[in-house]
């Protein structure tokens, strides 16, 4: 690896440290009665309301349609993700120090696989959250489910839900794009040298 590529790898790996400080994902809800909106922030280690009481409010509202309460303590992912991110940062720094091109490819692949797995897990949770409804719920609408969108917007009864990466999510995307770009550039540089 060229020196500049190693430096960029180190910066990219360290940038992932921001995930401990800022949420990964944001789900926003607005309704006629909630012009101010309700929101959830998903961090690598916790789920919080956008405003202090939003998580309670969302849980309170969702009981009418029989959705389960969101209890952050019940998510094993929130215990696992901080470790996974720490490992990624450590490995990224190792790649930068070592300067091995193949190690860079491996790190990029590992990160990409982790991100995809995370999204898949998020989809799986969203599906269960929106479909596993209490049969004694007060409001039952035939064929209606309340799965939040994986990404983008969706109308769920009176609520419009929006799901997008939050600052931490965009940092992760940027780091991944950087890693992919570096890998491609390093590969082409190596091919030019050998050609």
Partner 1 sequence: MSQSISFLTAAAVLLAAGCGKASTPIGAAGDAASRVYVAPGQHDELYAFMSGGFSGNVTVYGLPSGRLLQQIAVFSQYPEKGYGYSEQTKAMFNTSYGFVPWDDAHHPQLSITNGQADGRWLFINGNNTPRIARIDLTTFETHEIIEIPNSSGGHGSPYLTENSEYAVSATRFALPTPQEDMSIKDGKFGGMLSFVKIDPASGHMNLAFQILVPGYDYDLARSGKGPSKDWSFFTSYNSEEAKTLLEANASQKDRDYIAAVNRKAAEQCVAEGKTTEWKTPYAHNLVGEDGVARTEMLRSQRVLEVGSCPGVLYFLPTPKSPHGVDVDPTGEFIVAGGKLATTIPVHSFSRLQKAIADQAFDGEVGGIPVLKYDAIVAGEVENPGLGPLHTEFDGQGNAYTSVFISSEIVKFSLKDFKVVDRIPTYYSIGHLLIPGGDTEKPYGKYMIALNKITKDRYLPTGPELTQSGQLYDISGDKMKLLLDFPMTGEPHYAQALPASVLKDKSLKAYALADNKDPYVTKTESAVKAVRQGTKIHVYMTAIRSHFLPDNIEGIQVGDSVFFHVTNLEQDWDVPHGFAMLGAQNAELLIMPGQTRTLTWQPQRPGVYPFYCTDFCSALHQEMQGYMRVSPKGSNVPLAWNGGTGTLGK
Interface residues with partner 1 (CB under 8 A) are 36, 52-53, 56-57, 60-61, 64, 138-139
User: What would the DSSP string read from start to end of 35-62?
Assistant: EEEEEEEE-SS-EEESSTTHHHHHHHHH
Angle CA 116–119–124, to nearest 5: 125
Comparing CB distances to partner 1, the nearer of 119 and 139 is 139
Q: Name the minimum Å distance from CB 37 to partner 1.
A: 11
Which tokens is 53 given? Answer: 């009481």
Q: What is the distance between the alpha carbons of residues 115 and 194, in angstroms, rounded to a whole number?
A: 33
Comparing CB distances to partner 1, the nearer of 109 and 139 is 139
Q: Name the minimum Å distance from CB 67 to partner 1.
A: 14
Comparing CB distances to partner 1, the nearer of 56 and 134 is 56
Within 8 A by CB and 6+ apart from 111, the residues are 88, 175, 176, 179
Comparing CB distances to partner 1, the nearer of 50 and 186 is 50
Q: Name the minimum Å distance from CB 83 to partner 1.
A: 31
Q: Name the minimum Å distance from CB 60 to partner 1.
A: 6
């Amino acid at each position: 690896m060229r020196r500049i590529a190693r430096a960029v790898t180190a910066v990219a790996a360290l940038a992932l440290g921001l995930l401990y400080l800022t949420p990964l994902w944001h789900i926003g809800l607005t309704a006629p009665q909630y012009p101010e909106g309700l929101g959830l922030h998903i961090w690598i280690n916790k789920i919080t309301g956008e405003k202090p009481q939003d998580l309670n409010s969302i849980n309170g509202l969702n009981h009418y349609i029989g959705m389960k309460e969101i209890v952050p303590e019940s998510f094993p992912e929130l215990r696992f993700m901080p470790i996974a991110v720490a490992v990624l940062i450590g490995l990224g720094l190792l790649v930068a120090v070592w300067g091995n091109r193949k190690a860079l490819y491996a790190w990029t692949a590992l990160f990409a696989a982790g991100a995809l797995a995370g999204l898949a897990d998020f989809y799986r949770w969203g599906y269960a959250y929106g479909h596993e409804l209490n049969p004694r719920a007060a409001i039952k609408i035939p064929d209606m489910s309340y799965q939040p969108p994986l990404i983008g917007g969706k109308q769920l009864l009176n609520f419009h839900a929006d799901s997008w990466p939050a600052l931490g999510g965009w940092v992760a995307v940027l780091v991944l794009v950087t890693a992919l770009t570096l890998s491609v550039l390093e590969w082409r540089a190596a091919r030019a040298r050998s050609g």
